[in-house]
């Protein structure tokens, strides 16, 4: 997208959003007398509340909206919530709120806590799981340290599945999209089984061929195959006791990736990957649009998840006691052609198993009293096993670096046990009818123990370069990797307080101010390629004599990160309840951020190397313009800055362009201090409209249109300006015709109708710089990128019984 188009999109989007949010103030009150917005109920504070009464920046997306819009995972949800993004990388998934996210390492838990029916779901891989038959999704921005607690230092995403009902309901929904071969079939049945027992059964199956053309295999990618099975029972044992059981299993398998080479440096330096391998000549350059074509030798990701949740609610007079027990886990195995160009260099296999047991118990006091409170305790134990397998074929181009790499294999094994407990309380003092003070605190203790083991071998001749130093050891030293073994344990604890003051300025306006802190536990680095023990590896006297860099020093343990946050906001009802406008202004300081630091070879080391400030403004509103028309809008401004980050990964030729930024030339480290994080667009926004018209013959027509806007952002964790995604605006729409009694409906569902090519993640092609340098003796490389799905138009049919 060129600059003028980007500026035009930005101006147009901001104008539309500003008009939608503020127009309600200019409409004569008489038009709103009988138009009242439907109340949105959320559980962001662990009890059902109107969204307008919650002193938090919360966006809620209803399950019906998700089903109608064809939203199948959290990544699709993020398009509708400003200051919330999800980005897939080569070997992980990054979830971000207000610019804060976790780095790329299986040892990280997400900075954004995910909770499914109250069960913590903090592993990155689970963000890819299919979503289906949801009641709502709530995105709570800012540190959520008291009631959510577990590592929710940037915010929380609370997912609530649709529940059993006493009345019978059943539906079958089918969707077909021919361009990318998408087929989606959903079945739901619910109702009373006895006078006291009700149930719900939800089944999903979904397939898609993909939208990338792999010219090496002739297949479309990424091809997906998803299934989800969920069964629920609710037993109303007595008037005061209810027991709910949910069992769920899902599978989401993906063949291929939405990755392609998007250019190289041939036009910049005279050499690039296309210079060495003519197969890439005549291809894209970094300033050209990509073409959804790729070459790869095969990528596969097979994922299985399971969970069992038991929720017990007991009413003791006006108090409610809730117990939530969860047993959950997943396993996946992946084969990653992580060089992404289709060249014969290396393959990476990854597999992971995770099991978690959790128990939460809380007491909720009645509302309307002078003092209202929630107190509780939480326990969680988990077991994580990870293994990766790095292979270099005997015919690999990497043998140009060293003949000892022919048939090279490196395997890494990681195992971690953790145990956590927490006690929390939140007290609201209704000082007078229009003033409330809330005090909260959570004390958390956590113990982790882990071990990591790495071994290497080669099929090639491996003579000693000098006595006691093999050719392979020397090659591994260049790659910043070494066989090693580590083990350790850590104990940590934290106390996170909260203070909130609310004031009802009028019957229609609530103001609030909040101070809180956040905490994210430390842990162990899963994927560091070297030992943290400086005595392991080749002696400095040997590397110096051979003209090689000093032996690498890896990382095993990293510390917790912390946040301090301030937020003021308002929740306003306008036009006698026909419109709402909510605002939040926030300032958050983060210390000791856990980041992945480039090791100068093939990997990254985890370190607490960054401090940052995230501040900005968020607005959202709804307006029921007429009985048949409702508008929604949201707008977010984000100002993000690293305040202390001296060892980030330099981008290509940064030493030439920004010499003052280089902090360690030998390890290719540069200062990020004063810069924005990747995936932090300054402005994000959404605008939606929903219209319904009833014909006299018993038919209803509905139209839903959504505009989602993002300002430009850097799509590379090295902050490479070459990998900048320009501002864009996506248009989604749904047009439906159905019976006025909702028994059937036929719809057209359009996504990304503006056909934007959106780069969600980009980086240098691994080993491309090494290959170019070995072949030409000059500096040059190539870049790859993940791209969102282009325009799609699907036919959707739904029948209810």
DSSP bridge pairs for 687:
633, 707
Question: For residue 407, is it within any domain?
Answer: no
Instruction: Say if residue 395 is exposed, middle or buried (CB neighbours under 10 Å; 0-12, 13-18, 19+).
Output: exposed
User: Strand 155-161 to strand 112-116: parallel, antiparallel, or no bridges (unpaired)?
Assistant: parallel
Please give the helix or strand (H or E) that residue 457 lies within, else none: strand 435-457
Question: Which contacts of 708-711 are long-range, i.e. CB under 8 A and separated by 24 or more positions?
Answer: 708/79, 708/80, 708/732, 709/9, 709/10, 709/13, 709/14, 709/17, 709/683, 709/684, 709/685, 710/681, 710/683, 710/684, 710/758, 711/10, 711/681, 711/682, 711/683, 711/684
- pLDDT band, very low/low/confident/very high, at 90 (cuts 50, 70, 90): low
Rg (CA), the chain: 27
In a domain, 34, yes or no: yes
Q: Is the pLDDT of residue 19 over 50?
A: no
592 in a structural domain: yes
What's the pLDDT at 243? Answer: 97
Report the number of distinct structural domains present in the chain. 1
Tokens 């939800």: give the residue.
202
Please list the residues that pair with 250 across neighbouring strands: 228, 305
Q: Could you tell me if residue 707 is inside a domain? A: yes
Question: Could you report the per-residue pLDDT of 184-219, keeping only the tens digit for each?
Answer: 999 999 999 999 999 999 999 999 999 999 888 888
Distance between CA 476 and CA 455 in Å, rounded? Answer: 12
Q: What is the pLDDT of residues 493-546, one digit of tens each?
A: 999 999 999 999 999 999 999 999 998 889 999 988 888 888 888 888 888 887
Whether the per-residue pLDDT at 352 is higher than 90: the answer is yes
* DSSP assignment of 553-580: ----EE--EEEEEEEEEEEEEEGGGTEE
In DSSP terms, 113 is beta-bridged to: 156
**Pair 212, 174: CB distance under 8 Å:** no
For the stretch 412-438, pLDDT in tens is 999 999 999 999 999 999 999 999 999
Average pLDDT, the chain: 88
Distance CA 217, CA 367 (A): 62
Q: What is the CATH number of the domain that holds 55?
A: 2.40.170.20
pLDDT confidence tier of residue 11, bands split at 50, 70 and 90: low
> What residues contact residue 655 under an 8 Å CB cut-off, 6+ apart?
662, 665, 670
CA angle 753, 756, 762 (to 5 degrees): 145
Q: Lowest mean pLDDT of 225-234, 730-739, 771-780, name the range.
A: 771-780
Q: Mean pLDDT over residues 372-398, rounded?
A: 92
pLDDT in tens, 704-748: 999 999 999 999 889 999 999 999 999 999 999 999 998 999 999
Return the pLDDT at 116. 93
Residue 405 falls inside a structural domain: no
Q: What is the domain extent for residue 237?
A: 3-400+415-800
Under a CB-based contact definition with an 8 Å cutoff, are residues 380 and 419 in contact? yes
* Model confidence at 776: pLDDT above 90: no
Domain annotation covers residue 47: yes
Nearest to 515 by CA among 602, 406, 607, 441: 441
In a domain, 409, yes or no: no
The pTM score is: 0.89
For the chain, helix, strand, coil in percent to 5 are 15, 55, 35
- pLDDT tens track for 105-147: 788 888 888 899 999 987 877 878 888 999 999 999 999 989 8
Query: Residue 509: what pLDDT?
Result: 95
Whether residue 408 lies inside any domain: the answer is no
């Amino acid at each position: 997208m060129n600059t003028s188009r980007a500026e035009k999109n930005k101006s147009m989007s901001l104008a539309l959003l500003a008009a939608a949010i503020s127009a309600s103030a200019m409409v004569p009150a008489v038009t709103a007398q009988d138009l009242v917005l439907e109340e949105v109920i959320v559980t962001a504070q662990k009890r059902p509340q109107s969204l307008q009464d919650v002193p938090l920046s919360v966006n809620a997306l209803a399950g019906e909206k998700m089903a109608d819009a064809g939203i199948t995972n959290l990544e699709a949800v993020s398009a509708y919530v400003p200051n919330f993004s999800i980005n897939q990388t080569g070997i992980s998934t990054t979830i971000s709120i207000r610019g804060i996210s976790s780095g790329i390492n299986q040892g990280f838990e997400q900075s954004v806590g995910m909770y499914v029916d109250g069960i913590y779901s903090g592993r990155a891989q689970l963000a890819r799981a299919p979503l289906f038959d949801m009641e709502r999704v709530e995105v709570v921005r800012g540190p959520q340290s008291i009631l959510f607690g577990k590592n929710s230092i940037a915010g929380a995403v609370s997912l609530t599945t649709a529940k059993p009902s006493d009345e019978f309901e059943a539906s079958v929904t089918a969707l077909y999209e021919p361009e990318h071969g998408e087929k989606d079939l959903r079945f739901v049945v619910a109702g009373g089984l006895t006078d006291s027992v009700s149930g719900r059964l939800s089944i999903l199956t979904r397939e898609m061929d993909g939208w990338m053309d792999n010219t090496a295999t002739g297949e479309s990618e990424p091809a997906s195959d998803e299934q989800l099975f969920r069964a629920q029972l609710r037993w109303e044992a007595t008037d005061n006791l209810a027991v709910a059981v949910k069992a769920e299993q899902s599978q989401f398998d993906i063949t291929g990736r939405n990755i392609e080479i998007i250019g190289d440096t041939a036009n910049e330096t005279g050499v690039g990957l296309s210079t060495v391998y003519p197969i890439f000549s005549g291809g894209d350059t970094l300033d050209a649009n990509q073409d959804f074509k790729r070459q790869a030798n095969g990528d596969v990701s097979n994922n299985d998840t399971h969970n069992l949740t038991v929720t017990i609610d007991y009413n003791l007079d006006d108090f409610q006691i809730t117990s939530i027990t969860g047993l959950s886990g997943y396993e996946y195995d992946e084969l990653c052609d992580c060089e992404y160009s289709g060249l014969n260099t290396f393959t990476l296999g990854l597999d992971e198993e995770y099991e978690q047991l959790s128990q939460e118990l809380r007491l909720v006091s009645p509302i309307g009293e002078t003092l209202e409170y929630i107190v509780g305790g939480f326990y969680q134990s988990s077991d994580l096993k990870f293994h990766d397998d790095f292979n270099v074929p005997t015919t690999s181009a990497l043998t140009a670096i060293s003949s000892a790499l022919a048939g090279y294999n490196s395997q890494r094994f990681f195992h971690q046990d953790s145990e956590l407990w927490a006690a929390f309380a939140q007290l609201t003092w209704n000082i007078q009818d229009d003033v409330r003070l809330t005090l909260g605190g959570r004390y958390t203790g956590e113990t982790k123990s882990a071990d990591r083991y790495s071994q290497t071998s080669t099929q090639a001749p491996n003579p000693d370069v000098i006595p006691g130093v093999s050719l392979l050891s020397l090659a591994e030293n260049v790659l910043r990797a070494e066989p090693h073994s580590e083990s350790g344990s850590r104990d940590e604890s934290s106390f996170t307080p909260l203070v909130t003051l609310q004031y009802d300025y009028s019957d229609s306006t609530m103001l609030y101010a909040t101070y809180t802190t956040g905490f994210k536990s430390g842990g162990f680095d899963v994927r560091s390629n070297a030992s943290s023990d400086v005595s392991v590896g080749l002696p400095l006297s040997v590397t110096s004599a051979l003209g090689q860099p000093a032996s690498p020093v890896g990382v095993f343990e990293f510390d917790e990160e912390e946040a301090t946050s301030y937020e003021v906001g308002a929740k306003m009802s306008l036009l006698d309840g026909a419109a709402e406008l909510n605002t939040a202004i926030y300032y958050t300081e983060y210390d000791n951020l856990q980041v992945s630091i480039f090791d100068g070879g093939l990997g990254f080391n985890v370190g607490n190397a960054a401090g940052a400030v995230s501040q900005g403004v968020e607005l959202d509103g709804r307006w029921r313009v007429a009985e048949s028309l409702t508008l929604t809008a949201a707008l977010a401004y984000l100002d993000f800055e690293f305040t202390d980050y001296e060892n980030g990964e330099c981008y290509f030729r940064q030493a030439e362009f920004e010499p003052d930024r280089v902090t360690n030339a030998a390890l290719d480290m540069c200062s990020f201090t004063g810069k924005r994080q990747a995936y932090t667009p300054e402005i994000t926004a959404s605008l939606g409209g929903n219209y319904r018209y009833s014909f006299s013959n018993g038919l209803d027509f509905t139209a839903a249109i959504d505009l989602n806007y993002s300002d430009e952002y850097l799509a590379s964790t090295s902050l490479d300006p070459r990998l900048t995604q320009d501002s864009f605006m996506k248009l989604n729409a749904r047009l439906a015709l159905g019976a006025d009694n909702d028994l059937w409906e036929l719809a057209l569902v359009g996504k990304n109708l503006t056909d934007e090519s959106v780069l969600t993640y980009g980086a240098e092609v691994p080993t491309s710089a090494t290959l170019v340098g070995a072949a030409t003796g000059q500096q040059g490389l190539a870049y790859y990128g993940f791209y969102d799905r282009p325009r799609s138009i699907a036919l959707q049919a739904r029948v209810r019984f």
